[in-house]
Structure 1
């Protein structure tokens, strides 16, 4: 179903925009008439996504940089605004997932997950915020998770990063609100994306996620994208500093499976760290 959010003609950057939730945001934005800057570490994927938008009659720019690199981030924002005009919105959707029992988390794993999902996200929203604060307008959406408000066995780094995203979002809402800049987070549960399908055992998706979700299924990336567009739009003009859950009711409850030993990772399942 297509909805109208009033974003026609606005310029919006989407990090992680070549796949998953990011790509669904790009599609939804272009259907609503927005111009998009598609950012992805996968340069080929970003350009292919932009070509798809252009083929449909939309306006798109593809950029590729590592969100952990502050200089590259600043350079990319400058180029985006030089070629597309001032940014009205940002969806910070770039993210990775790595799993291991907490006792086995390596420094490389920790730094990678925290680096992309929290540090890199901060650099991205900081670059956007500097420009939006100066202009006195703008809306930013960060991607949190159900892991922002509760743990999940085997995902210490991911949960720490996603909890940090919400804390950061609330702080920036306070700092930037008086300048006319809003920032909110969305909190998806397990969403049916390639990253999820590649990383979680099928039995976990059906017997744990769907079975323990009040709406009885995984979320769809389009549903997360629609929520992001709502928060970017003037329909949410008095909302800032909020974590809006998009989780089918998962966060309404408390229980997990196997006394917290459902480590929810194909890699750990194959390595014999736990059994289904």
Structure 2
């Protein structure tokens, strides 16, 4: 359907070197977008760019640590310099530290919140300036079900992702009048390099599955459709919302 077609659109995907971000970058490129892929590791980015180009898409790598001052402006500036415009931002870069609350240090807290929430905001801000001026934009923030329901560990992570969800609402309230829609996706457990070790524990996997009505761990491809939808004109009347892509987990909590 043409409303899902992203041909001629320019997108930024952060954390695009592997896992969810790589899958989303490939998905946007498959739908016609030119994609600037962002991560800290150049080698990972080159693999993502190569995968996109092998399928006939267009991509550029931008190496950046988004927790550094000015990084967001740099990423947006390089994207616009390359393609002359910016229409879509996928804020995916993030991290987790699984610790009990009494074990979390100030350094732990800052590392998680600085990347998951602070960096995401300043990426929104840098992209939003351009999008509001051109009266068009789509921002998709990758949150988590941990920002919606309580988990036994990861207090900094859950707090940061709850912040991402509320940030999404506030920015939608401010910018939707300029044609800029901001939404979020809240995933549950997905098979990625970051969860690989955890998912080798069969007992842990079974505990997860008991709380997942769909009865399986998510595949990164399960996130591509929702991301394309929210990035497209098919979602023109949707803003400030968070879609849980969790196999039904948020029905139960964990």
In structure 2, C-alpha distance between the alignment counterparts of 1:82 and 1:204, rounded to whole Å: 50
Compare 27-36 and 204-213 and name the one that shifted more: 204-213
The SS at the match of 1:238 is: coil
User: Is residue 185 from structure 1 mapped to residue 178 from structure 2 by the alignment?
Assistant: no
Counterpart position of 1:58: 57
Aligned 1:6-25 pairs, distance under 5 A: 6-25=5-24
Compare 166-175 and 50-59 and name the one that shifted more: 50-59
Aligned 1:57-206 pairs, distance under 5 A: 57-199=56-198, 202-206=201-205
In 1, are the aligned partners of 2:3 and 2:232 still within 8 Å (CA)?
no
The SS at the match of 2:50 is: helix
TM-score (norm 1): 0.88
In structure 1, C-alpha distance between the alignment counterparts of 2:4 and 2:22, rounded to whole Å: 17
Compare 97-106 and 62-71 and name the one that shifted more: 62-71
In 2, are the aligned partners of 1:133 and 1:176 still within 8 Å (CA)?
yes
Deviation string, structure 1 residues 72-116 (Cα, Å, up to 9, x no partner): 221221111011221110100001111111001011111111111
Counterpart position of 1:229: 228
Change beyond 3 A, Cα 1:156–1:201: farther
- Deviation of the 1:199 alpha carbon: 4.2
- Deviation of the 1:55 alpha carbon: 2.8
- Deviation of the 1:206 alpha carbon: 2.3
Deviation string, structure 1 residues 44-97 (Cα, Å, up to 9, x no partner): 211221122223321111001111123122122111101122111010000111
TM-score (norm 2): 0.95
Q: Which runs of 5+ in 2 are unaligned?
A: none
- Deviation of the 1:192 alpha carbon: 1.3
In structure 2, C-alpha distance between the alignment counterparts of 1:106 and 1:234, rounded to whole Å: 43
In 2, are the aligned partners of 1:68 and 1:123 still within 8 Å (CA)?
no
In structure 2, C-alpha distance between the alignment counterparts of 1:8 and 1:135, rounded to whole Å: 18
Q: Which is higher, the Rg of structure 1 or of structure 2?
A: 1
Aligned 1:23-42 pairs, distance under 5 A: 23-42=22-41
In structure 1, C-alpha distance between the alignment counterparts of 2:18 and 2:249, rounded to whole Å: 24
What is the number of residues matched between the two proteins? 253
Counterpart position of 1:48: 47
Deviation string, structure 1 residues 29-55 (Cα, Å, up to 9, x no partner): 111111100001112211221122223
Aligned 1:237-256 pairs, distance under 5 A: 237-254=236-253, 256=254
In structure 2, C-alpha distance between the alignment counterparts of 1:52 and 1:253, rounded to whole Å: 37
